[in-house]
Structure 1
Amino acid sequence: MVSIVICHRDKKLLTQFKKNVKETIGSPFEFVIIDNKANDYNIFQAYNLGIEQSQFDIICFSHEDIIFHTQDWGKKVKKHFEDENTGMIGVVGGNAFPNCPSPWWNSNYLNDHLIHNIQHWKDGFTPQQSVNSQPYNNIKNCTLEYHNPTGENRIKAVAIDGFLMCAHKRALKKCKFDEKTFNGFHCYDTDICLQVGQTHNIYVVYDILIEHLSMGSVAREWAKAAEALADKWKDQLPFFAKEVDAQKIPRYQAKCLLTYCYWIKGMDMPDHEIKEIIRKYLNLNHRFVSQESLLLWLWSKLGYKLARIPYRLSKNLIN
């Protein structure tokens, strides 16, 4: 039996979602609808209320803008949790997370983007698509995304995307959505995954196909939450759900931090603030390990524009 928790904002989407679930789940379930049309809760508060109100051992935290394409998906979810070491499952995620502000889809240098979904994109947005991305059903700005590096039915992950996260209550006994550190609608998924991952395994599964009708946004509010997440977990990051070459970790983390700095630069964050962020998160013991770490170090000292000059002169010397 499955409790489906929704932080509800849109009546039309919820009606569509409930109809789709009833037609596809194939097992007993309940809806736990947290009415947030008046914006009374942040996502952390809403989901904690959902946990309190849920009756069943398996809880699916779901956005209301998804469509299940797999029949009897409730039975498949239940089957995954027969393994008592399994704490959470989702359909999209990553198996690496760095010690700096970052999303689950961070640099694929060490992070396998574990993906199996139908994704709708914003007009004018060009996604970094998965290996087997292909247009879906002639729908504009919609693709079938699939990346499975092992070919297995499920792959261990560090973090999963919040549009669908299924958890077993045994994994939530000592975990809750962190209302103290966060107060908005970002990083709730990664933070709860990092909590659950301390005691249970997290997986991206490939036997449930979902259509996601929107894409997330990376803006100032997300950046603020991402930094709070990195600060909260700084003594334990990075995390990997697979074996990695330890010598590659410094470059991986520099790549993630550089990407983050480009993003916040695109959000018109002042350069002096970005310099402070680099100083905070860059491991200076590895500043010359890679082109990315060199550019970050120069950026932290000179600012972005001036850093580009010596960086261009030296980039051929460092691989």
Structure 2
Amino acid sequence: MGIEDRKLDDRRVAFITCVNDEEWYSECRLYLEHLALPPGMTAEYIPVRGAASMCAGYNTGMRQSAAKYKVYLHQDTLVVNKHLVSDLKRIFSDASIGAVGVIGCRSLPKSGVWWDGLRTYGRVLHACEPESVVDSHCREPEGPYQEVEAVDGLFIATQYDLFWREDLFTGFHLYDTSACKEMQRRGLRVVVPNQEQEFWCIHCPKEKPLAAEYKGYQKIFVKEYGQELHPEV
């Protein structure tokens, strides 16, 4: 599962979303369409409906676009940073950076679950209930960004096309952490930006218990990547 070998257009950005709720997606899309684009850049919006898994859906979306910059985001993620594309281009000017997320952890624990990591970085506003907004604010990078081992899948931007591991992750869990490890296997870095002044995203997930199948995907993750984890103690 290597890098897709084709010429990518650095004047294009694609926003790829797996969709099963049209109302949420239209809200998500509204925010995306109001982002400021750097001169000469165009945006593409790629909804993927009926995806068998997050990885399968993202691979479908990835193949539909030759944009160098791709943003994979949940349908209930609202991007409020109007200068997102300029900020991403600035970060991606370092060719060693493969992916940018908004929240994640410096080192994954043995469980492979990023939020159990000792040092978490980033910031997301969570609006789980209509009247309640929680500012999930972890550590801030000391500079413009912090290198991490994994980021959350609510928002992942890339500048290289790497296949999502649909052979392993056939559902909707741990696809994001796997994508980060695949980047690192190719010597690419994953980072979280400094959001001290301005947060990038509002996430509006429904509060629900962790799905029963999560543990199964956790086992798959640990079997595939466990030898590559170096947890902090």
Provide TM-score, normalisation by structure 2: 0.85
Q: Of the candidates 127, 141, 145, which is equivalent to residue 132 of structure 2?
A: 141
In the TM superposition, residue 185 of structure 1 has moved relative to its aligned partner by: 0.4
Q: Does 1:85 align with 2:96?
A: yes
**For residues 71 and 196 of structure 1, what CA distance do their matches in structure 2 show?**
27
Q: Does 1:163 align with 2:163?
A: no
Q: Give the number of the structure with larger relative contact order, counting CA–CA contacts within 8 Å between residues 6 or more apart.
A: 2
Look up the match of 2:26. 15
Greater share of strand residues, 1 or 2?
2
Residue 97 of structure 1 aligns to a residue whose secondary structure is: coil
Look up the match of 1:185. 172
Look up the match of 1:210. 201
**For residues 60 and 25 of structure 1, what CA distance do their matches in structure 2 show?**
15
Structure 1 runs of 4+ aligned residues shifted over 6 Å read none
Q: Which runs of 5+ in 2 are unaligned?
A: 1-11
Question: Any idea what the Cα deviations from partners look like across 1:230-286, whole Å, max 9, x if unmatched?
Answer: 0111222226xxxxxxxxx5xx3xxxxxxxxxxxxxxxxxxxxxxxxxxxxxxxxxx
Q: What letter matches 1:201 in structure 2?
A: R
- Alignment RMSD: 1.9
Question: Any idea what the Cα deviations from partners look like across 1:17-49, whole Å, max 9, x if unmatched?
Answer: 11111112434210111112xxx4211110111
In the TM superposition, residue 217 of structure 1 has moved relative to its aligned partner by: 4.6
Q: What letter matches 1:30 in structure 2?
A: E
**For residues 20 and 160 of structure 1, what CA distance do their matches in structure 2 show?**
22
Q: Is the 8 A contact 2:121 2:141 kept in 1?
A: no
Q: Does 1:33 align with 2:47?
A: yes
**For residues 84 and 146 of structure 1, what CA distance do their matches in structure 2 show?**
28
Call closer, same or farther: CA 1:212–1:219 in 2, change over 3 Å. same
Look up the match of 1:103. 113
**For residues 59 and 29 of structure 2, what CA distance do their matches in structure 1 show?**
21
In the TM superposition, residue 216 of structure 1 has moved relative to its aligned partner by: 6.9
Greater share of helix residues, 1 or 2?
1
Q: Of the candidates 121, 127, 135, which is equivalent to residue 120 of structure 1?
A: 127
Residue 170 of structure 2 aligns to a residue whose secondary structure is: coil
Q: Of the candidates 150, 153, 160, which is equivalent to residue 144 of structure 2?
A: 153
Call closer, same or farther: CA 1:177–1:216 in 2, change over 3 Å. farther
Look up the match of 1:297. none
Which has the higher Rg, Structure 1 or Structure 2? Answer: 1
Call closer, same or farther: CA 1:149–1:15 in 2, change over 3 Å. closer
Q: Does 1:58 align with 2:43?
A: no
Provide TM-score, normalisation by structure 1: 0.63
Q: Percent identity at matched positions?
A: 18
